[in-house]
Structure 1
Amino acid sequence: MKLAVVSLNSIWEDKQANLEEVKRIVQSLRQKAEYVIFPEMTLTGFSMSNLSLAEDFKNSNSIRAIQKLAKEHQINIVFGLMISKDDNKYNSCVAIDNKGEIAGHYEKIHLFSYSGEDKLISSGDQVKSLSWKGGWGLSICFDLRFPELYQELSKENLILINIANWPKTRVTHWRTLLNARAIENQSFMIGVNRTGVDQNGLEYEESSCVFSPIGEKLEPSEILDKVKIFDLNLDEAIQYRRSFPIKKDRRNGIYNIFYS
C-alpha cells in the first residue's frame, strides 16, 4: 500500500491558506499514493486559546472541503481539526475515504497540560480505529507518551498513526517513542509532524517518519517537497506477529489492577 506523509508548515490560524496548500499537495499525489496524512491541527497550527477556530462536527466547512478533495482525487485523507460537539471543543483527527465519506474521527484523549490544553478544550474518552486496509489506530501528539493506548489499538490494527505538532526541542523523544511504539506493538508506527515556526515561537523540525513492526526506520520510496511516500507491506506485520507472538504473554488482569 502506498501512503504519503506531509510535513506541513501550517500558517497560524489561516484556514484558507492552509487549505489551498493541502489541495495543492493532494493534487500532486494523484496516482502516487492511496492514503495521505497531514499533521495535528492541519489548517490552523496548535492554537488552543482561540476557540472560535472550532467547527461544528456536523456542519464543518473544512470537513466538507476535504471530503470534496478526497472524492475528486480518489484518495483517503487524514487531517487534524478543532471541532465542537454540543458545548465541548476537541482536538480531533478526522479521516475521509476516497469516496468523500467520513471514515472515522478521534478526539485526543491525553491533553497536554504543560501548555494548558486541558484548561481550554475537552478530552476524548474513546479509543478509535479505522477499518482501512490492515486496520488503523488513531492518536494525536501527546498521546504518544502513553503506551497503554497503543496496546489497545494494536489488538486489531497493523498500522498506528500519530499526527502531531511536536517541537524541535523534544524531537529526540518523538523519534524514540515512535520507534518504541512500533517495537512493543509489532505494528507499523507512522508519525506525521509539522514544520516551521508557530505564533508561540516554537520551532518544528522535519521529522515525519515510519517505523516497521520490528523497529526499523523505513526509507521513503519517493520524496516530493514536503511529502514522503512509503510503500508498506502489511504481510510483514502479520508474519512477524505469528513468528514472535509476544502479545499472548501480556498479563492484562494485572495491568487493570495497576491502572484502576
Structure 2
Amino acid sequence: MSEKLNIAFIQANLKWEDSEANRSLFSGEIDKISKETDLIILPEMFTTGFSMNAEKLAEPTRGATLEWMQQQAKKKKSAVTGSVIISENDNYYNRLFFVFPDGNYKLYDKRHTFTLAKEDETYTAGRQRLIVEYKGWKICPLICYDLRFPVWARNTEDYDLLIYVANWPKKRVNAWDTLLKARAIENMSYCIGVNRTGEDGDGYVYNGHSAAYDCLGKELTPLDRSEEFTAEISIDKASLYETRKKLKFLQDRDTFSLDL
C-alpha cells in the first residue's frame, strides 16, 4: 500500500495510423521520465490516433501493443495505461489496457462510442466499468466521450482516482476543461485527463489541455498545456481522505441503478 502515487502522463502529437512509429515515440518519452513512477498514462488510441479504419489497424488483444505495454511496465516497474484498437470475436473495440508492473493486466472497453464521428458504427460499446486496485489505490479508468456522462463515472465504489484518456479536439476543449474539473469535484476524487496534440488524418486539430485536479477542483498541472509534454505529479491519499472526512459529500449521494 502506498499513501502517495507518483504519476507521469504523456501528451503527444500522434502519428496518424502508424502503430510502430507511435510505440517508438512513447518508448522515447517513457525513457525520459526522471523519477520513480507508479503509473504512466497515455492517450486514447495512442498507437493510431482516433481512426475509424479498424479493419486495417485493429490488433488482437494479446497483440504487439499489449506486449509493448508489458515491456514498458516491467522496464519502468510502473503500471501503464492507454487505449488501443482491438479486434475480438468479429467485433472491434476501443479498449483500454491497465498493465501492472508484473505484466498482468485489466481491460475496459469504451462505453460511450462517439456517434458524431460514427464511432458507434465501427466499434462495439463496452457494458462494464472497471475499478482497478493498485498499490492500495482504487482507480477508475474511462475513455474520452465517457467524460460527458456523469452517471457512468459516479463514485459509488469510493474510488480515489478517475482517469480519462482522450483524443478531444480543440474546437470543444472548453468542455473538456470544464468537465474534467466537474468530475473531480462531484466525485470527491483526483481526476486526470490525458489528451493529444497536433492534427489527425481527418483534419481535426488537438491542443491537449491534459490536466490533473484534486477532489476540490484545484489544478495540479501547469497552465500552459497546449504543446507536447510529460507531466510528473504525486497525489496523496491522506489529503484526499482528510477532505472527504471533513466534507462528507459522498455520504449524501443519491442511489440509483443503471439499465444497460
Same fold (TM over 0.5): yes
1:83 paired residue number: 86
Per the alignment, residue 172 of structure 2 pairs with 170
What is the deviation of 1:190?
Answer: 0.4
User: Per-residue deviation at 1:109?
Assistant: 0.3
2:204 to 183, 202, 205: 202
2:19 aligned partner: 15
Is this contact kept in 2: 1:136–1:161, CA < 8 A? yes
8 Å contact from structure 1 (residues 213, 236) kept in 2? no
The match for 1:131 among 130, 133, 153 is 133
Paired amino acid for 1:195: T
* Alpha-carbon shift at residue 256 of structure 1 (Å): 4.2
1:3 positional shift: 0.6
In the other structure, the counterpart of 1:242 is: 245
Alpha-carbon distance, 1:235 to partner = 1.6
- Give 1:30 shift: 5.2
Paired residue secondary structure (2:244)? helix
Question: Is residue 144 of structure 2 the alignment partner of residue 147 of structure 1?
Answer: no
Question: Which position in structure 2 is the counterpart of 1:227?
Answer: 230
Residue 67 (structure 2) pairs with residue 50 (structure 1): no
Unaligned runs of 5+ in 1: none
Counterpart residue identity of residue 5, structure 1: F
Q: State how far apart, in whole Å, the 2-side matches of 1:225 and 1:45 are.
A: 15
Aligned amino acid, residue 52 of structure 1: K
Instruction: Choose which of 156, 159, 162 in structure 1 pairs with 2:161.
Output: 159
Q: Partner letter of residue 218 of structure 2?
A: E
Shift of 1:2: 1.4
Q: Give the 5 Å matches for 1:29-68.
A: 29=33, 31-57=35-61, 59-68=62-71
* 2:72 alignment partner, one of 58, 63, 69: 69
Residue deviations 1:140-175 (CA, integer Å, cap 9, x gap): 0000000011114x5231000000000000000001
Cα deviation for residue 53 of structure 1 reads: 1.2
Residue aligned with 2:152, SS: helix
- Letter in structure 2 aligned against 1:115: A
Q: What TM-score comes out, normalization by structure 1 length?
A: 0.91
Secondary structure, in 3 states, of the residue corresponding to 1:215? coil
Q: Which amino acid aligns with 2:194?
A: V
| Paired residue type of 1:200 | D
For 1:4 and 1:26, the matched residues in 2 are separated by: 9
Greater helix content: 1
Matches of 2:228 and 2:114, distance apart in 1: 30
Partner of 2:191: 189
Which amino acid in structure 2 is aligned with residue 2 of structure 1?
A: N
**2:214 aligned residue:** 212
CA distance in 1, matches of 2:218, 2:35: 27
Give the 4+ runs in structure 1 shifted more than 4 A. Answer: none
Q: Contact conserved, 1:7 with 1:38, CA < 8 A, in 2?
A: yes
* Distance in structure 2 (CA, Å) of the matches to 1:42 and 1:85: 19
Task: Determine the structure 2 residue equivalent to 1:105.
Answer: 107
**SS of the counterpart of 1:131?**
strand
State the shift of 1:65 in Å.
Answer: 1.5
- Of the candidates 92, 97, 100, which is equivalent to residue 94 of structure 1? 97
Percent identical residues: 33
**Shift in Å at residue 225 of structure 1?**
6.0
Instruction: Note if contact 2:13-2:228 (Cα within 8 Å) is conserved in structure 1.
Output: no
Q: TM-score, normalised by structure 2?
A: 0.91
Aligned residues: 252
Instruction: Provide the C-alpha distance between the structure 2 equivalents of 1:10 and 1:234, rounded to a whole number of angstroms.
Output: 33
Residues 230 and 83 (structure 1 numbering): CA distance in 2 closer, same or farther, change over 3 Å? Answer: same
Query: Do residues 120 (structure 1) and 118 (structure 2) align?
Result: no
